[in-house]
Structure 1
């Protein structure tokens, strides 16, 4: 369910930042497949998937792609940094120094 919530937040954030053509990547295949499927989602977290699909309607283009965890090291490093940080931070142009090496 956490992965579905993250995908939803990514779509909301894209709209807030006026990014109207986005690709949301995730390493949870079940969530990515559910987001790609048409119709209502019958899964336990289906209400989150359905809401995410509705929210993406404000974007010009929104694709969902599965990325294996090994290929997602940068996102994993950023997520870990976010969990350890008490502040809300957004990096728009440059990566933080401690994760730049992963990139």
Structure 2
């Protein structure tokens, strides 16, 4: 089982948005991270739903079968779990999430507080300069302090 944390960020002054995600093993060690710039969507909710979908795609690309997905936007996590709003503006993205979910042998979605999602948040905030960056078994050097802080809470 791996844990995939995701987050989205909007840069309104640059008319763009970004996604950040981190995949960790059960001990909290990083297996992969991603930071990706995307065109500006219509809302914060859309960015978060796109980030959730990209987190599933990333986990699938890496070959993971059993995942726990965590995000800090409670309404989006609830919508994904309850399979609601499929007829909304976000419906096609939510449907993609449900289809992708079927490709995992085990999947669950959980809401966490922003403090528990700091690494994914920082990854999302750093992508305004680069369209797509992926790191395997590490975090970018400018995020190591956030990761170490986060890891210390996991082992208390």
TM over 0.5: yes
SS of structure 2 residue aligned to 1:7: helix
- In 1, the alpha carbon distance for the partners of 2:70 and 2:137 equals 19
Q: How many residues align?
A: 102
Which structure carries more helix by proportion? 1
Deviation digits for residues 8-66 of structure 1 (CA, Å, limit 9, x no counterpart)? 11111111110111122111111101111146734431221122011111111121111
Matched, 1:101 2:149: no
SS of structure 2 residue aligned to 1:33: helix
TM-score by length of 1: 0.86
Which structure carries more strand by proportion? 2
- After TM superposition, the structure 1 = structure 2 runs for residues 79-90 of structure 1, keeping only pairs within 5 Å, are 79-86=124-131, 88-90=132-134
Which consecutive residues of structure 2, in runs of 5 or more, have no partner in the other structure? 1-45, 148-156
Task: After the TM superposition, list the runs of 4 or more consecutive aligned residues in structure 1 that deviate by more than 3 angstroms.
Answer: none
Contact 2:79 2:85 in 1 (8 A): no
